[in-house]
Amino acid sequence: MVKGNFARTKLRGASKTAVEMQSRLNHDRSRSESWAVSALAKAMGGDGFALAAEDQDSFRGQELVFASLNLMLIGALLVLEEISRLVRSKPTASVVFVLAVGFVVQAIHLVWIRNRSVQLSKPTQRIFTYWSLGFNSTLALVLTSLTIRGDSAYYALMLIPILEAAFRLGLGATSAVILLAVFISFMGAWGLKFGEYIEAGAMSVIYAVMGVLVWLLVNNLRTREGRFMRSLEELARTRERLLSEEKLAAVGRLARALAHEIRNPVAMISSSLATAVRPGQNDEEREEMFAIAAKEAMRLERLTTDFLLYARPRTAQLAPGNLADTVNYVATVARAHAANEGVAIDVSAAGELEGEFDATQIQQALLNLVLNAIDACPRGDSVKLNAGQDGSGAIRIDVVGPAAPIPPDVAKRIFEPLFTTKPGGNGLGLPIARNIARAHGGDVVLGSNEPGRVCFSIEIPSRASPSGQ
């Protein structure tokens, strides 16, 4: 009943999460469909300074691009005007001088931004944006004033400010920059033929279309990015909730299994003691009941010791050692149990096999695997221990037994704590062995599960640092 309630609660939580996510996605979809209207209303309402680049690196990258383009534009105008002055004696030297000063100032700005290593705060970013807009606008106004009633193409200097305003400012500020560019275009056509005014009007239309279109595209991308970020945050929160629920479920399963394992020996102890003190029992029956109680108490003590070892594993104390010695020692310790079961143990380990490991922990992990293999091995057969290095240089110890293959449904759960199919087992041997291997930066794996060949392998780096659990 408890398990069913927990499952229903989990399903209700998952359903609620799905509904919340669907609602959020629908909300974001409706916002994206009306992004132009909402963004326009926000901009016209005076949203002020809103950088499209929310992080330092993006702003620096944008500034480098804008500054580089502006430097190229001023440099091209400077070269063209210098050639024109040499060929036609126009424009005046003052125009070339102003262009040269503008080129130097822009070059200094570009070098400063490129080599600047400190973080740019929001106020500093604001200053940079308005400085760039003001610099180009002032340069275009001065040059247009110097060449009024003559050939002038300095309205081209307003291209970069319009793009920069569209990228970083609201629609109101972008419109103001566009109007300034329109004023400079008509200013350059002052006193000239009617056709020049037509050309200035055409440039004004281009400025307006370009500025508004770029602003709309940037704000569309900004809205989409915001929606994606919210979706990612929602997915991260959902993942955390699911992980938390899964952890709670795992703790519940572990608690139920542990309670079951403890209940059996406690019940046996209780019933044995009750029988022993019952009137009419002879000394032989009492001694038998006391022996059963003592045996179950030892079993309970072993269970709690192993569980504490699994729940609070000791940090691996790595030290250089000979792995062959460790494997041979485990084989020697296990041979008495193997002899009782009518099983032989064969060892194959190179004497020069060295590594850094916690010898005590590796012995314990390997002994757990060997005892399991002995218990599953038919009488008259043998368990093989093979130690060596794989192609990557890692240490690998194989414990191979000629047992029947582990059923697939059991193989999926063999590393779960307190899961066992062996009579008298507590289901902690393999989880403890895996914890020890992972504390060394390795793992325990079921390498082979075939008829007549079941192989568990301990894999650890030959040179490793202890890893967290």
Same domain, 327 and 443: yes
Domain final position from 250, 281, 311: 311
Nearest residue to 340 via CA among 375, 299, 385: 375
- Cα 455 to Cα 369, 416, 459: the distances in Å are 10, 18, 13
| Rg of the chain on CA atoms, in Å | 40
Residue 12 reports pLDDT greater than 50: no
Indicate whether 452 belongs to any domain: yes
Residue 455 reports pLDDT greater than 90: yes
Nearest residue to 393 via CA among 347, 327, 459: 459
Lowest mean pLDDT among 116-125, 141-150, 156-165, 209-218: 116-125
pLDDT per residue as tens digits for the range 51-70: 444 556 677 777 788 888 88
User: What is the pairing mode between strands 382-389 and 344-349?
Assistant: parallel
Residue 178 reports pLDDT greater than 80: yes
Q: What integer pLDDT is reported at residue 247 of this predicted model?
A: 66
Asked whether the beta carbons of 197 and 79 are under 8 A apart, the reply is no
Encoded tokens for 82: 């210098």
pLDDT per residue as tens digits for the range 81-90: 778 777 766 6
Same domain, 271 and 324: no
Rounded-to-integer distance, Cα 361 and Cα 74, Å? 72
Out of 30-34, 147-151, 214-218, the most confident range is 214-218
Under the phi-then-psi rule, with left for phi > 0, alpha for psi from -120 to 50, and beta for the rest, what region is 149?
A: left
pLDDT per residue as tens digits for the range 390-405: 767 788 899 999 988 8
Q: Place 80 in a pLDDT band, splitting at 50, 70 and 90.
A: confident
pLDDT per residue as tens digits for the range 235-271: 888 888 887 777 666 666 666 666 766 776 787 788 8
Q: What integer pLDDT is reported at residue 32 of this predicted model?
A: 39
Q: Place 297 in a pLDDT band, splitting at 50, 70 and 90.
A: confident
Q: What integer pLDDT is reported at residue 102 of this predicted model?
A: 86
Helix (H) or strand (E) holding 227: helix 194-276
Same domain, 298 and 428: no
Which CATH number do you get for residue 293?
1.10.287
- 41 or 230, which is more confident: 230
Q: What integer pLDDT is reported at residue 18 of this predicted model?
A: 42
Lowest mean pLDDT among 219-233, 249-263, 365-379: 249-263
Q: Place 35 in a pLDDT band, splitting at 50, 70 and 90.
A: very low
| Residues present in the chain in total | 469
Q: What integer pLDDT is reported at residue 44 of this predicted model?
A: 35
| DSSP state at residue 314 | P
Domain assignment of residue 294, given as a range: 260-311
Indicate whether 405 belongs to any domain: yes
Indicate whether 144 belongs to any domain: no
Indicate whether 247 belongs to any domain: no
Asked whether the beta carbons of 365 and 330 are under 8 A apart, the reply is no
| DSSP state at residue 156 | G
Same domain, 296 and 367: no
- Mean pLDDT score across all residues of the chain: 76
Domain final position from 311, 334, 349: 311
Domain count for the chain = 2
Q: What integer pLDDT is reported at residue 399 of this predicted model?
A: 92
Query: Which parts of 394-468 fold into alpha helices (H)?
Result: 408-411, 429-439
Residue 440 reports pLDDT greater than 70: yes
Residue 101 reports pLDDT greater than 80: yes
Nearest residue to 410 via CA among 451, 449, 371: 449
Lowest mean pLDDT among 26-40, 249-263, 375-389: 26-40
Same domain, 353 and 265: no
Same domain, 273 and 340: no
Same domain, 415 and 374: yes
Indicate whether 423 belongs to any domain: yes
Indicate whether 112 belongs to any domain: no
Indicate whether 351 belongs to any domain: yes
Same domain, 333 and 445: yes
Which CATH number do you get for residue 354?
3.30.565.10
Lowest mean pLDDT among 149-158, 168-177, 292-301, 380-389: 149-158
Q: What integer pLDDT is reported at residue 202 of this predicted model?
A: 80
Indicate whether 378 belongs to any domain: yes
3-state secondary structure of 46: coil
Same domain, 277 and 378: no
Domain final position from 249, 276, 311: 311
Q: What integer pLDDT is reported at residue 344 of this predicted model?
A: 92
pLDDT per residue as tens digits for the range 302-329: 777 767 666 666 777 888 888 889 999 9
Average pLDDT over residues 367-379: 89
Same domain, 292 and 409: no
Same domain, 307 and 324: no
Residue 147 reports pLDDT greater than 90: no
pLDDT over 70 percentage in the chain: 75
Lowest mean pLDDT among 52-66, 89-103, 354-368, 383-397: 52-66
Q: What integer pLDDT is reported at residue 120 of this predicted model?
A: 65
Same domain, 360 and 433: yes
